[in-house]
Amino acid sequence: MKFGWLPNRRKKEIQMKRWICVLVATVLFWGLSTTALTTSSATQTITIGVEAMAVLSLVGTDGESWTWLVVDDTGIITGSSELRWTTNLNVKVTVQSILITDEQSYVLKVRCVELNSGGTSEGWAIINEEPSDFISGIALEIGGCFLEYEALLKDGKIAGRDEHIITYTIIAQ
Distances (CA, A) of 32 to 27, 40, 128: 8, 12, 79
Same domain? For 148 and 108 the reply is yes
162 assigned to some structural domain: yes
Q: Confidence band (pLDDT; 50, 70, 90) for 95?
A: very high
Same domain? For 25 and 63 the reply is no
Q: What CA–CA distance (Å, rounded) separates 150 from 12?
A: 106
Same domain? For 137 and 88 the reply is yes
Same domain? For 117 and 144 the reply is yes
Handedness of CA 152, 154, 159, 163 (dihedral sign): negative
Same domain? For 11 and 67 the reply is no
The pLDDT tens digits for 132-155 are 999 999 998 999 999 999 999 999
Q: Which domain holds residue 23?
A: 1-42
Given a contact cutoff of 8 angstroms between Cβ atoms, the answer to whether 73 and 156 are in contact is no
Same domain? For 80 and 165 the reply is yes
Same domain? For 23 and 84 the reply is no
92 assigned to some structural domain: yes
Same domain? For 80 and 28 the reply is no
Q: What CA–CA distance (Å, rounded) separates 3 from 72?
A: 127
Tell whether the model's pLDDT for residue 122 goes beyond 50: yes
148 assigned to some structural domain: yes
Same domain? For 105 and 69 the reply is yes
Same domain? For 95 and 24 the reply is no
Tell whether the model's pLDDT for residue 20 goes beyond 60: yes
Given a contact cutoff of 8 angstroms between Cβ atoms, the answer to whether 129 and 97 are in contact is yes
47 assigned to some structural domain: no
Same domain? For 74 and 149 the reply is yes
* Total tally of structural domains belonging to the chain: 2
Q: Confidence band (pLDDT; 50, 70, 90) for 118?
A: very high
Tell whether the model's pLDDT for residue 157 goes beyond 70: yes
Tell whether the model's pLDDT for residue 1 goes beyond 60: no
Supply φ then ψ for residue 12, to 5 degrees: -65, -35
Same domain? For 35 and 60 the reply is no
109 assigned to some structural domain: yes
The pLDDT tens digits for 24-52 are 667 666 665 555 555 567 788 888 888 88
49 assigned to some structural domain: no
61 assigned to some structural domain: yes
**pLDDT at res. 40:** 65
Mean pLDDT of all residues in 89-98: 96
Q: What CA–CA distance (Å, rounded) separates 108 from 27?
A: 88
21 assigned to some structural domain: yes
79 conformational bin, left if phi > 0, alpha if psi -120 to 50, beta if neither: alpha
